[in-house]
Structure 1
Amino acid sequence: MQSETKASTVGIVTRKRAIWLIAIVVIYFVLINLPTPNGLSLVGQKALALMLIVVITWVTGIIPIGIASLLFVFLQSVIGIADVGTAVGNFANPTLLFVLSSFFLAIALDVSGLNNRISLKLTVLSGGSPKKALFYLMAATAVLSMVISDVPACAAFYSIGLALLRKNNCKVGSSNLGKAMMIGIPVASLIGGAATPAGSSLNVLALSLMKSTANIDITFLQWAAIGIPIVIIALPLTWKIMTFVFPPELERLIGIEDIQKDYQALGHISAKEIKFIVIFALLLITWFTESIHKIPLPASATFGAVLFFLPGIDLLSWENTKHRIGWDIILLIGAASSLGTAFWKSGAATWMANGALSWTQGVSLVVVVLVVVIFTTLIHLLLPVNPAIISIMVPALVGYAATIGMGSPLALVIPMAQAVHSAFLLPLDSVPLITYASGYYTMVDFFKSGWIISILWCIVITAVIMVIAPAIGLF
């Protein structure tokens, strides 16, 4: 009986995927055979149709993301929007090296054991206060997420938070502390990821597309000068929102004594932890001094990753690392870069942006920035695939900035690149999905705090960018 039920379920899923596949093919051919709109070339029309079916494919998952990403890179030459060499060249860009290096950095942190030491220490520092414990876990997650990808940063503190909740018998689905902690940790990871280019592959993808479409470089320090203040302002306010929406039902946590014992059992800092700290410190120095030595971020990140494998350091080996790398994410980022560049060169991005944003001409810059931030925040509800958002929005905003004679597209691209982290409305992004599996909160719970955090995020991003960006010469 069970085998029959399983076979029936598989059959239904297969039919749905087949229907979606047929629908996508039909949608594409319908779109490219419609009359070409004014101001859009036939190549641009094909690029726009391709981008639409790319988004549908990624969201529905009818083809595995990694395989679909490779398919769409080569499909560009088949439909005539880019030759094979150009499409592959835009795929195999430095962004891929940074994403790969980010995985090595996150794995090395885990192997060294330093993440466990930090998380235990911060929990002990809370002194048993649920609100303090929540703040320390959120703050630590955000700080870690500034320099490694959001997913491993969230995962590093998820296990500590989950252990605390279970130790205190916080009931799944009804505990306010459980809701606040399991929502707060991924939200903090998303917020922290906006702080520096190293905080997320999305940031590096945005920088890469800025270079390929507008030939503009932004240094690590320039990005951090905007991103870090945003995090410093937004994080404590977000913590306040979490404790207001979900006031903890406990006055004091139990189990802190056990965590204290676990922390003491770690003993003195280990050789592995020291090795990681030294290499990581060198990386940070290199990143923040990029404008002096001119070594690009992907290159320095790759050099740093190699150090973990060197004899005498041996924090990582290929055998214990290769299976922990998100190859599908790497392929997705590469495809997004290739498709975004083709979308820009075809003229489709400029055409789309002019149609959507033409009404903002003549209004103040602060209004335009706020509109971009709000739109980027809301689009997560329709398109929960952040690389796709980046690959569409960066070329579109660069094109629109050129059309209206804006001195630099950075005034539009930087706010968008910050706002793209704001997957706060529903747990559809890969980061909140880590804790959503715990069952402590529902999608409705996530939205209860998420809509307030989203409003806060839009205001903070707009305010910080309008104050700091002109001061450091980005506008």
Structure 2
Amino acid sequence: MKAEKKRVVGVIGTVLIIAAALLVSDAGTLSTASVRGFAILAAALLMLITEPIPAGIVEPLLLVLLPLLGVVTFDQSLKNAMTTLFLFLMACYGISMVLLKSSIPERLAVFLLAKSQGRPLYVVGAFMLGTALISSVVSNVPCAVIMTGLAARVLHAMGEDMEKSPLGKAMMMSVPFGAVFGGMMTPAGSSLNVLAITLVEEATGQKVLFTEWMLLGIPLALVLIFLSVPILTLFFKVKPLEGGVMEKVLKEMHNHEKLSNYDKNALMILLVTFVLWVMTSWVPRLNVTMVSVLTLTVFFLPGLDMLTWKEYSRECGWDTILICSAILSVGAALVETGVTAFLVTVISPYFTNTVLPVFLLIIALLVNWTHLLIPTASAIVVLYASSFAVLSASYGYDPRMISFIVAAMASCVLLIPFDPVVMVSYTKGSYKMKELFTAGTIVSTIWALLLALWIPFAFLFI
């Protein structure tokens, strides 16, 4: 009954927002089209939260509302939605499925757990690092699904109560932490990276290369893992394991004697894919999306048959792909109607005479805390990337910094469990919302500070 009431509220709220937008004829410095574009974005967020219609249906509705309300033409609406992001997300889900079908994630977890020697700090670290490594080449949500399942298996083998065990809380929370850290390591680690790079390039003509992004992301992710593991173990007061527990876990987990042909093929293809991703930094004709689509195609080739269309179409997150494309189209419409210029004019006085680290810190904190108001990360990227990139360029700062900071902090979904990356482990019942908010606030604040200090330094070498 509550869910039904929420859906009704969503319908009423959406209608009221659209009706109010239609009544607006002038909003001072903002055009009527800009105001209506903002209204469509607000309506989209309300529909995603209240779910009056499936998320996948929200996408075509938004693409129709943009021309109906006179924001952009229908052709522009469709063109802005069908970007490289759409193809990249399709490819990412395929890569994630192949990894999920292989034994590679489990082998990595077993390897890292064996190195932990049963010490709680290292056990939590093994899962956070393992999740981060997988997330660097796989979309965050599928990665979280894979590693949450493995963490649950390990806890069961240990005889730990997942809902009461301090170790269980720390391990389960380490998965979303590791996923968002790993997603920052490479441009392919998160669709938000590709989205931010695209928006900043369109706004300023400046683009971060694959290798440049790795130089920024990998050291920062490793430092955050190094700091976050003791924070979680101390926060949950994790106690040492009893003797022989880890040996029991490793014996139960290690079910694979040799790599199967499927595993070998997956490793070989992913290695070639990564090499080609790196080569995009020097080969103009290549980009991350093109390489990812080629990899997806290879999975279906005869003789390999690593995926079938039936399982791909069933498991692919079409709703996520569609809504990200729709949000991008709305964002492009806002830029085209002059919203970026308006936002730069409004916010620029607040950044006057700020040195670069302070400038970047304010942006990082603003993007992070916007999650409390806007739970959709792609919408946050659309809202901030272009405007802050233009503002950055106007101050003489490299706007490419903005693509990294906005993508990283939009991925930092560690305050409330409304993002699928966190929901996967949160729904297991191991940790509470208050615990996530406290630990997430500490870590995300450290993350923002490190970004403000590291990015200016790293860009000296880019």
Task: Output the TM-score relative to the length of structure 2.
Answer: 0.94
Return the offset for 1:65.
1.3
Distance 1:20 1:316, change over 3 A: closer
Aligned 8 A contact 1:120 1:160 in 2: no
Task: Output the TM-score relative to the length of structure 1.
Answer: 0.92
* Mapping for residues 139-218 of structure 1, pairs under 5 Å: 139-218=129-208
CA distance in 2, matches of 1:353, 1:182: 40
CA distance in 2, matches of 1:413, 1:357: 18
Distance 1:259 1:330, change over 3 A: same
What is the aligned partner in structure 2 of residue 425 from structure 1? 415
CA distance in 2, matches of 1:407, 1:370: 14
Structure 1 counterpart of 2:408, one-letter code? Q
Deviations 1:138-172 (A, max 9, x none): 10101111110111222222122112223333334
1:321 aligns with 2:312: yes
* Mapping for residues 321-340 of structure 1, pairs under 5 Å: 321-340=312-331
Deviations 1:232-269 (A, max 9, x none): 21111011111121121343375433443345541122
* Mapping for residues 200-279 of structure 1, pairs under 5 Å: 200-252=190-242, 255-262=245-252, 264-279=254-269
CA distance in 2, matches of 1:110, 1:61: 29
Structure 1 counterpart of 2:26, one-letter code? T
Distance 1:268 1:413, change over 3 A: closer
Aligned 8 A contact 2:90 2:321 in 1: yes
CA distance in 1, matches of 2:345, 2:48: 26
Deviations 1:187-223 (A, max 9, x none): 1111111111110111111122223333333221121
Structure 2 counterpart of 1:36, one-letter code? D
What is the aligned partner in structure 2 of residue 93 from structure 1? 83
Return the offset for 1:84.
1.3
1:306 aligns with 2:297: yes
CA distance in 1, matches of 2:302, 2:330: 40
CA distance in 1, matches of 2:458, 2:90: 31
Structure 2 counterpart of 1:385, one-letter code? T
CA distance in 2, matches of 1:324, 1:47: 32
Aligned 8 A contact 2:177 2:414 in 1: yes
1:367 equivalent among 358, 373, 379: 358
1:80 equivalent among 65, 70, 73: 70
The two structures, once aligned, show a CA RMSD in angstroms of 2.0
* Mapping for residues 20-31 of structure 1, pairs under 5 Å: 20-31=10-21
CA distance in 2, matches of 1:188, 1:364: 31
Structure 1 counterpart of 2:8, one-letter code? A
1:383 equivalent among 347, 365, 374: 374
Moved more, 162-171 or 325-334: 162-171
What is the aligned partner in structure 2 of residue 455 from structure 1? 445
Structure 2 counterpart of 1:325, one-letter code? C
1:400 aligns with 2:391: yes
Structure 1 counterpart of 2:224, one-letter code? A
1:137 aligns with 2:127: yes
CA distance in 2, matches of 1:121, 1:96: 35
1:45 aligns with 2:16: no
Return the offset for 1:443.
0.5
CA distance in 2, matches of 1:264, 1:30: 60
What is the aligned partner in structure 1 of residue 106 from structure 2? 116
Aligned length: 461
1:471 aligns with 2:432: no
CA distance in 2, matches of 1:15, 1:420: 30
CA distance in 2, matches of 1:253, 1:193: 35
Aligned-residue sequence identity (percent) comes to 25
Q: Which runs of 5+ in 2 are unaligned?
A: none
What is the aligned partner in structure 2 of residue 342 from structure 1? 333
Return the offset for 1:109.
1.1
